Structure 1
Amino acid sequence: MTLKLIKGMRLVAATHNPGKAREIEALLDGDYRIVTAGALNLPEPDETETTFVGNAMLKARHAAQLSGEVSLADDSGVSVAALDGAPGIFSARWAGPSKDFALAMKKVEDRLDEIGSSDRRAWFTSALAVAWPDGPCVVVEGVVHGELTFPPRGDRGFGYDPIFIPEGQALTYGELDPAVKEADSHRTRAFMKLKAALID
């Protein structure tokens, strides 16, 4: 079996986050028909793995098995050096059931204040997995380093973007033009690896 993504095919994006789905579509240059797990009413699986790679594979396989179609999953989050890598794989869970990322960003700030750390180093990780209904799964990972800033700045992007300044930039992901962010984000770096493995 040749593991390739054929342009024009439909891909299930294993997400209920419309912002993430739009980024995925843009990163694939509009060459694929993207339908989300949310649009297909697929339930979200429990993320029981301990790494971004493990959770991406779990979500992709779950969506592929339930939909019967090739599925792509992203597991991503922000890790803070002074918090021993937290929130990490729990980034979405820090936002609570209502996905309130203002709350999550405040929690990061409060934790740093509690331990009295001025270390603002952080990194975003994106693990991408593509799973076929009959079993095979390909996974890659991209990372961008930077530092945190408070209070949050900018209303672009989503998640923790307003507190993260990537290396080489003065603006947060929440302030940067989306085209600038997408030129070299953690997800873009992962997609470049994915394209090399499955498309080019």
Structure 2
Amino acid sequence: MASKIVFVTGNVNKLKEVRMLLAPAEGQVPAFELTNIDFDLDELQDSSLENIARHKVSQAQEKLAKGTAVFVEDTALCFDSYNGLPGAYVKWFLKSVGPEGLVRMLAGFDNKKAEAVTTVAFADSNGQIHVFQGKTQGKVVDPRGSREFGWDCIFEPEEGAGKTYAEMEKKDKNQISQRSRAFALLSKHLNGASNSGV
């Protein structure tokens, strides 16, 4: 029977995307069953994305039954011109000023380059924490495409053929996104661990 792994998120779009990213290859039996739970977790005030993710998954471990495998995911948008800010705080900036406000932050700068970073912290059934990170380079542009997924409409990845994430087909985005890169590392770890139990 497949092991159960809990993903801490209340974001339906994110859950759907992660299910796609962690789905087994065609014809393969799933190594685990992915469920989700929506917890309010404290956000550590830290510039280290790894520390923030570790802190969150440690809190999730405390709320779940001992031996439950769980992971959290944190995605940051780091502007070159701001030495990495807004970084992990991008969701609060987005909530407060919207995509246009994020674009306006760079209005006085020639350098619009940004790095999208996803950090996944996974606590296995033994309580050991593993951290995986994926990165995608790009630039901040005026909003284009759907607005249903955070700041996707203002991030144009270098490998995106001139499209923002929001303008890309899901499968194309999943080829190059920082989230897909982080989850490819988690998937590799889980599939390697599935023989010995997650």
Fold-level similarity (TM above 0.5): yes
2:51 aligns with one of 50, 54, 71:
54
- 1:156 Cα deviation after fit: 6.5
- Residue pair 2:94, 2:151 contacting (<8 A) in 1 also: no
Closer/same/farther in 2, CA of residues 185 and 91 from structure 1, 3 Å limit: same
Classify the secondary structure of the residue corresponding to 1:179: helix
For residues 4-40 of structure 1, give each alpha carbon's deviation from its aligned partner in whole angstroms, at most 9, with x where no partner exists: xxx83222112222221111111110634332221xx
Classify the secondary structure of the residue corresponding to 1:74: strand
RMSD, aligned α-carbons: 2.0
Correspondence for 1:176: 168
What residue identity is the alignment partner of 2:34? Answer: I
Correspondence for 1:75: 74
Q: How does 1:1-200 map to 2 (within 5 A)?
A: 8-29=2-23, 31=30, 32-38=32-38, 42-68=39-65, 69-96=68-95, 103-113=97-107, 116-132=108-124, 134-150=126-142, 152-155=143-146, 158-168=149-159, 169-200=161-192
For 2:3 and 2:19, the matched residues in 1 are separated by 12
- 1:134 Cα deviation after fit: 4.8
For residues 94-129 of structure 1, give each alpha carbon's deviation from its aligned partner in whole angstroms, at most 9, with x where no partner exists: 133xxx6xx33222222212xx11211111001111
Which consecutive unaligned segments of at least 5 residues does structure 2 have?
A: 25-29, 193-198
For 1:104 and 1:55, the matched residues in 2 are separated by 23
Classify the secondary structure of the residue corresponding to 2:73: strand
What residue identity is the alignment partner of 2:12? Answer: P
Closer/same/farther in 2, CA of residues 109 and 179 from structure 1, 3 Å limit: same
Classify the secondary structure of the residue corresponding to 2:165: coil
- Residue pair 1:12, 1:63 contacting (<8 A) in 2 also: no
For residues 122-163 of structure 1, give each alpha carbon's deviation from its aligned partner in whole angstroms, at most 9, with x where no partner exists: 11001111113653101111100011111x111166111101
- Residue pair 2:114, 2:140 contacting (<8 A) in 1 also: yes
Closer/same/farther in 2, CA of residues 50 and 84 from structure 1, 3 Å limit: closer
What percentage of aligned pairs have identical amino acids?
25
Q: More displaced, 27-36 or 125-134?
A: 27-36
